[in-house]
Amino acid sequence: MRSRYTAHVVGDTQYLDRTYLPTSKLPPKPYEGTPRPIKWVKLEIHRHDANVRPGVSHVDFSAHFTEDGQSGVMHEKSEFELIDGAWLFSRVLREGPAPIVSAPKVGRNDPCPCGSGKKFKRCCGA
């Protein structure tokens, strides 16, 4: 985790690719484009949950930065996997409540969910 932060500070994109699970086995590629003018200022580790599963750990952190004269904080909870003796960043974990899942839509010819025994289109769907 700290080494990836340091790679962001010094702009070592190849190290970031090598330590990111989806790109870790791919051949290195040159960075294309102009790097954003971000200055990383400080890293705060809030929590480290070691071995939440075998070979998997979670890190909750804040990375402080300045961009175009404005200060900012990126807060993230990340998952790392131990593969071949190296910790690789695998994904960002979702924070907050679970997404809202709506109830299945009632078809016009389905029985009405109110329990009347009528078709939906002749009852509450009218």
Output the pTM of the full model: 0.68
Give dist(CA 58, CA 87) in Å, integer. 11
Give dist(CA 105, CA 107) in Å, integer. 6
The model's confidence at residue 29, banded by pLDDT at 50, 70 and 90, is confident
pLDDT in tens, 39-59: 999 999 999 999 999 999 999
Q: Phi-psi category of 42—alpha, beta or left, where left has phi over 0 and alpha has psi -120 to 50?
A: beta
pLDDT in tens, 60-96: 999 999 998 899 999 999 999 999 999 999 999 987 7
List the end-to-end C-alpha distance of the chain, in Å, as a whole number: 58
